[in-house]
């Protein structure tokens, strides 16, 4: 049974080997990676990994679909034989790490816990900056351990998920958060479960992008999401731009909705042994190690360049002045949700 992870990257070579080592330890055995417009050697690192037989690298040079760079890549992926032959598929980002809480913490254990599932939603758990201002070449999973509480009532983005789904013909195309283009006649047979092991209603089969509010969605599995990293890294992320909705500029609003640091979660260290072994094997390759060092140096130099520009210097200053985000009390969140539902009802007439 093959598990394919699909990834889109730009200027993220400094994080790539940790991400790949972790997901190999989790149980993914096939990787399809799209790169675009890289200045830090990400594309060269992917070329070397492809030479080593560890992944497939595709340069996503455009033109890009109106939905953005990632939509364009996934649209191309749907036509590839590698994707058609995969048994299970999960599109991910470089700042997302699968974290399984059952059995030996691998995909096999998750399937054993949910043997009837044809789709499993992996809900984000947002990890904040953990007080880290400057970028350092240290593992993400060891550095950032402060996160949002297990139960969040707002914002809705805190409950978004990515979908690990069986590639059995029910869906024709992979999507950013959920598989797309369903075959309607097959939908009744689809069995969706969440990361807590609960069966999900039919709405999840076609439209839902986020889990229910006010529940612990992580009993069996979660998706550790590190959308900010160090504050310095967020400035580079703003410079890089979004893979989805690439015309949207990243700013302080993005950080406020994601920089939660009220709890500590180190559960992902359950795979630290095999993950570190995988990472060590990758770094033992002289070419990969050199490319990693160059990528880390590029990040430091690029940050210094950006601080010479008024907009990025102002952004970094605002980040320094902005305190960590606090989860809203339940009554305040319900007030916002009630108005969100009213607005949606008005839109629908």
- In angstroms, the CA 16 to CA 9 distance is 9
Q: Please tell me the total count of domains within the chain.
A: 1
> What pLDDT, on a 0 to 100 scale, did the predictor assign at position 242?
54
> What pLDDT, on a 0 to 100 scale, did the predictor assign at position 213?
80
In this structure, are residues 35 and 11 in contact, taking their beta carbons and an 8 Å threshold?
Answer: no
Question: Which segments in the chain show pLDDT lower than 70?
Answer: 242-248, 349
> What pLDDT, on a 0 to 100 scale, did the predictor assign at position 245?
45
> What pLDDT, on a 0 to 100 scale, did the predictor assign at position 11?
97
- In angstroms, the CA 300 to CA 137 distance is 10
User: Which range marks the domain in which residue 161 is found?
Assistant: 3-268+277-347
Contacts of 223 (CB under 8 A, 6+ apart): 96, 97, 98, 99, 122, 123, 124, 125, 161, 162, 195
> What pLDDT, on a 0 to 100 scale, did the predictor assign at position 246?
47
- In angstroms, the CA 98 to CA 100 distance is 6
Q: 197 is written with which tokens? A: 């092991």
Per DSSP, what are the bridge partners of residue 182?
171
Q: How many helices (H) and strands (E) does the chain have?
A: 13, 13
Q: 80 is written with which tokens? A: 């590839």
pTM (two decimals): 0.96
């Amino acid at each position: 049974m093959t598990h394919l992870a699909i990834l889109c990257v730009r200027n993220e070579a400094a994080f790539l080997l940790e991400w790949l080592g972790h997901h190999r330890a989790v149980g993914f055995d096939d990787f399809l990676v799209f790169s675009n417009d890289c200045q830090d050697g990400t594309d060269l690192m992917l070329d070397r990994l492809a030479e080593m037989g560890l992944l497939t690298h595709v340069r996503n040079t455009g033109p890009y679909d109106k939905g953005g760079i990632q939509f364009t890549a996934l649209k191309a992926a749907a036509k590839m034989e590698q994707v058609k032959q995969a048994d299970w598929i999960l599109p991910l980002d470089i700042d997302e790490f699968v974290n399984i809480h059952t059995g030996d913490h691998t995909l096999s254990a998750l399937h054993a816990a949910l043997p009837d599932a044809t789709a499993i939603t992996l809900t984000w758990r947002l990890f904040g900056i953990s007080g880290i201002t400057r970028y350092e070449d240290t593992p993400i999973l060891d550095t950032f351990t402060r996160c949002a509480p297990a139960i969040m009532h707002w914002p809705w983005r805190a409950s978004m998920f990515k979908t690990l789904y069986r590639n059995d013909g029910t869906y024709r195309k992979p999507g950013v958060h959920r598989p797309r283009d369903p075959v309607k006649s097959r939908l009744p047979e689809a069995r969706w479960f969440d990361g807590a092991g609960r069966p999900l209603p039919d709405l999840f089969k076609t439209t839902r992008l986020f889990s229910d509010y006010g529940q612990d969605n992580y009993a069996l599995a979660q998706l550790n999401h590190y959308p900010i990293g160090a504050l310095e890294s967020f400035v580079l992320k703003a410079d890089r731009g979004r893979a989805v909705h690439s015309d949207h500029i990243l700013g302080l609003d993005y950080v406020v909705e994601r920089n939660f640091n009220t709890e500590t979660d180190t559960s992902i260290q359950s795979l630290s042994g095999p993950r570190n072994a995988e990472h060590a094997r990758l770094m033992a390759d002289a070419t990969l190690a050199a490319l990693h060092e160059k990528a880390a140096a590029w990040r430091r130099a690029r940050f210094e360049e950006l601080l010479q520009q008024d907009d990025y210097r102002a952004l970094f200053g605002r980040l320094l002045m902005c305190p960590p985000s606090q989860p809203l009390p339940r009554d305040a969140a319900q007030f916002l949700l009630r108005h969100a539902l009213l607005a949606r009802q008005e839109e629908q007439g």
